[in-house]
Structure formats: C-alpha cells, structure tokens
Amino acid sequence: MPFFQNLSIQSRLLLFVIGPVFALSCILLLFDFKEQLQREEDKLSQHALTTAKFLSAVIHNQTELHSKDYIGRLLKASQLNREPYLSLIISDADNQAIANLGTSFNISETLPQQDTIVMQQNTHDITMVKVFSTESTHRLLGYVFVAIDKGSLIEDHRQAFIKNVGYITLALILCSILVSWVSRSISQPIRDMTSALKRFVIGSQQVSQGKNTLPEIQSLQSTINQISRDMQHVEADMRHRIQDAQAQLRYQARHDALTGLVNRQELERRLQQALQDVKQHRANHVFCYM
C-alpha cells in the first residue's frame, strides 16, 4: 500500500513493533487479570466453605454458641483476619448475630432450607452453614455465614491491572525513545548519502561522508567516499588532458608543421595586435620582412 511504502524507518518501527507489542501486552495482561481474579475467587470460596464447615463442626451445644470466649477462640483459630476479603458472622437459631469478624454485611431474613449453600447478595458471595447439636434431636443451634467481598476484590485487581498497564506504557515509551534513537542513527546517514548522491548526479564531486558506528552504514559510506575520490581523480586527469590537448591544438593552429615557424594566420594576428597596441598605447614595433 502507498501509505506504508511512504513511511520512514522510525514510523515503521513504531507502528509495526511498538504498537503490536503494546496491544499484545494489554491483551495478555487482561487475560492474566481475569485468570488471577478467577483463581482468587475460587481460593476464597473454598476457604469460606472450609471455614464455615469447621466452625459449624466444632460448636456442639447452645452454651458454646453463646460463650464469647469460646467464639473468640474459634474466630482466632479460623484465621479469617488474614484474609482481607472474607468476613464472618455467627448467629443463633433466630438469626440474631452473636459474633462477627471483618467488614459487616447484610443477611437476608428469609434463609434457605439447605444445610449448606452459597448465596449471592449484592457484591458478596455468602456461604451459609447451619449449626446443629450433637444430640439425637439434631436441633438447630445457629448459622455460620462467611462472605466474600467480591466488590473490593475486583476493585483491587482492577487497580493492579491499571497500574500494570501504566508500567507497560512507561516501558514502551522508553522503548519508543530507544527505537527513535536507533532509527535516526540508521536513517540520518541514509538521508545524507541520498543527498550526496543527488549532488553527484548534478555534477558535484564533494560527496564524501562522515564515519558511522554501524558496520553496514560504514561500508556503504566507505564505498561512496571511494567513488567520490576516484571521480575527483578522474576529473583532475581529464582537466589536465583537455588543457594539454587545447595547448597542442593552439600550437598546431599557429605554427607550420614542417618548419615549426608561425604560419601566415598567426603572423596576421600578431601584426593586428601590434597595430592595436600602437593605436592605443603609442608603442613602437619593428617589422622585418625578408
């Protein structure tokens, strides 16, 4: 296409190298963002379910459920305080909160009949496990709710994604500067050589080029410099040959080939010149005719 053919080396490098690298980096980063987010959600969901079942299993009676010291030890044992996106609520059989850990979240007044279920509520995924007594009556003691704050999780990952895109952009800007410098180091000598060759075409022999650090450019510049020197030598030799030929033609035109004396045409020219000199400067001349 004419548009791409007219692009400079710098523009082509920026368009065909930096542009695709930036696009590919963003795409890979987006896929990695989604994959990491999914892995984090799966890990938190598994942790929430495990924690809820653990707390449900270790509470054996109503007394334990209402013991603050016991519940405190359970919450500490659950290690949920190490998970910033997990929150916990323990409630009694009437769904009245007894203890909580982490950020608060709302619990629906109407609870499902299942013993274990994962519910979605606004920006939270809530794992609910019912707590039953170990008696033969299998009496309901309360509920354990472990919630995943997906809103905060997604927002933190989004901020990390934006930060990584910023790092990639900064890195590509630095790469663009480096590419521009490299492309100029290549394109500028080529432009100089092109200009020199144009001068050479119109007759100028001063087309010598300076040294470049790139071996390929150095080789091309050396070739052009050698051509320039050779052409200067050829031109100087041609001038000398032309001058010699002109001098020889003038001598042959004014002298007799046999005797080497001036011929009649040269005699008349000299007489005419002498007469002009007499008229203009009143000079004296002697003419001897034999």
Asked if 237 and 262 sit in the same domain, the reply is: no
pLDDT of residue 241: 92
For range 120-125, the mean pLDDT: 84
183 part of a folded domain: no
pLDDT in tens, 173-188: 888 888 777 777 777 7
pLDDT of residue 77: 74
Angle at 209 between CA 188 and CA 204, to 5 degrees: 110
pLDDT of residue 211: 61
Asked if 26 and 114 sit in the same domain, the reply is: yes
pLDDT of residue 8: 66
218 part of a folded domain: yes
Cα–Cα nearest to 41, from 122, 154, 117: 154
193 part of a folded domain: no
185 part of a folded domain: no
pLDDT of residue 4: 54
12 part of a folded domain: yes
Percentage helix, strand, coil, to 5, in the chain?
65, 15, 25
Asked if 133 and 7 sit in the same domain, the reply is: yes
More confident of the two residues 285 and 244:
244
pLDDT of residue 182: 75
Residue 56's pLDDT band (cuts 50, 70, 90): confident
Asked if 142 and 244 sit in the same domain, the reply is: no
* pTM greater than 0.85: no
Asked if 34 and 147 sit in the same domain, the reply is: yes
6: exposed, middle or buried (C-beta count within 10 Å: 0-12, 13-18, 19+)?
A: exposed
* Kind plus residue range of the DSSP H or E element containing 82: none
Asked if 6 and 98 sit in the same domain, the reply is: yes
CA distances from 261 to 169, 251, 252 (A): 90, 10, 10
Asked if 116 and 223 sit in the same domain, the reply is: no
Q: For 53, what's the count of Cα atoms within 13 Å in the CB-facing half-sphere?
A: 10
Asked if 214 and 288 sit in the same domain, the reply is: no
Cα–Cα nearest to 102, from 126, 118, 84, 127: 84
pLDDT of residue 246: 92
More confident of the two residues 251 and 194:
251
Asked if 112 and 55 sit in the same domain, the reply is: yes
170 part of a folded domain: no
Residue 52 has pLDDT above 90, yes or no: no
Asked if 210 and 82 sit in the same domain, the reply is: no
Q: Which CATH number do you get for residue 42?
A: 3.30.450.20
Count structural domains, the chain: 3
Average pLDDT of every residue of the chain: 80
For range 211-235, the mean pLDDT: 73
Asked if 270 and 241 sit in the same domain, the reply is: no
pLDDT of residue 206: 59
Using a pLDDT cut of 70, give the percent of the chain over it.
87
pLDDT of residue 226: 78
Residue 266 has pLDDT above 90, yes or no: no
pLDDT of residue 9: 65
52 part of a folded domain: yes
Q: Are 101 and 88 in contact (CB under 8 A)?
A: yes
Signed CA dihedral, 26, 27, 32, 33: sign only: positive
> Which of 14-28, 140-154, 217-231, 256-270 shows the lowest per-residue confidence on average (mean pLDDT)?
217-231
Report the 10 Å Cβ neighbour count for 86: 23
Its domain, for residue 275, covers: 257-290
Asked if 55 and 120 sit in the same domain, the reply is: yes
Residue 240's pLDDT band (cuts 50, 70, 90): very high
194 part of a folded domain: no
The token duo for 131 is: 């707590």
The token duo for 88 is: 């916990």
